[in-house]
Amino acid sequence: MKLTDFIQDAGRPVAFYPSLRRITGSTTATLFLCQLIYWKGKEADADGWIYKTSEEMEAETGLSYNEQKTARANLKDAGLIEEHYARLDHKLKFRLNFDTINEKWGNADTDNGESGNPSFGNDTSPNSLNESENTTENTTENTSNPSQIKGIEAAIWQGRPVTEDDIDPHKSEREALVAFETALHLPGNWEWYPAKTTQAKEWAQLREFVKKQYSQDPGQFEKYHRWRNEKYARGAMSNRAIKAAPADFQASWSDFLASFAMYGNSEEKTRLL
């Protein structure tokens, strides 16, 4: 088998940002840090702790146990990561310290005489992105188009502080959907993904619409729910109707807004609001 053929099936490549060496002090520490950044947002721990065995890290990064030990020591000494050994579970966990990472990166730019938006030296792209299992195809596509880099890696690539949206890019969407479900008193068995794949597009559009409306006014769904329970409400949709025809909800929403426009500043509008 040719080496190039083997590499294509050798597993996921690793996201690596050489310029981070300015704050980590070594290539191995940078590689270890980048891999933890990749896993941030994917961990199950609510407090941000990431559990990785040395064997898993070696399989993902190629770093031996001793190389990992040295990298961890460098990162801890620099305050870039924390470690916690759960004795009951016999697990060593890691947590990223984004405040320190951002502070040291900013200081590194100042020390180098840079100002404005940091550019991570002369990097033209990360080594790879790890955005999906189909990394060979996606990495080529994403590194040739930096605008497609998302999440924490986008913050590193753009040289800006990491935000909550970077850490959990789906947080605002989940909040919007939960607000929608709560306000409309949707049943516990409500599902955003229908059994029929032919409706997938309509449901995706509904999710985007709900997210957009929530960003404009988080309280609008409560108003819609009160409005649809009024006897005069024209175009209102029940939960069952929304689930059966998600594509019709935007029209119902327009009827809802038109109804408020019609009532103006009347007592009825005040009562509904």
Give the residue-averaged pLDDT of 58-86: 91
Q: So what's the pLDDT on residue 59?
A: 86
Does the pLDDT value for residue 237 go beyond 70?
A: yes
Q: Which segment of 95-104, 165-174, 234-243 scores lowest on mean pLDDT? A: 165-174
Q: So what's the pLDDT on residue 85?
A: 84
Question: pTM of the prediction?
Answer: 0.44
- Residue 32 is encoded by which pair of tokens? 């270890």
Q: Which segment of 186-195, 237-246, 259-268 scores lowest on mean pLDDT? A: 259-268
Give the residue-averaged pLDDT of 154-169: 63
Q: Mean pLDDT highest for which of 143-152, 188-197, 242-251?
A: 242-251
* Contacting residues for 7 by C-beta, under 8 A, at least 6 apart: none
pLDDT exceeding 70 applies to what percent of the chain?
64
Give the residue-averaged pLDDT of 21-44: 86
Q: So what's the pLDDT on residue 168?
A: 62
Domains of the chain with bracketed CATH: 3-167 (1.10.10), 171-272 (no CATH)
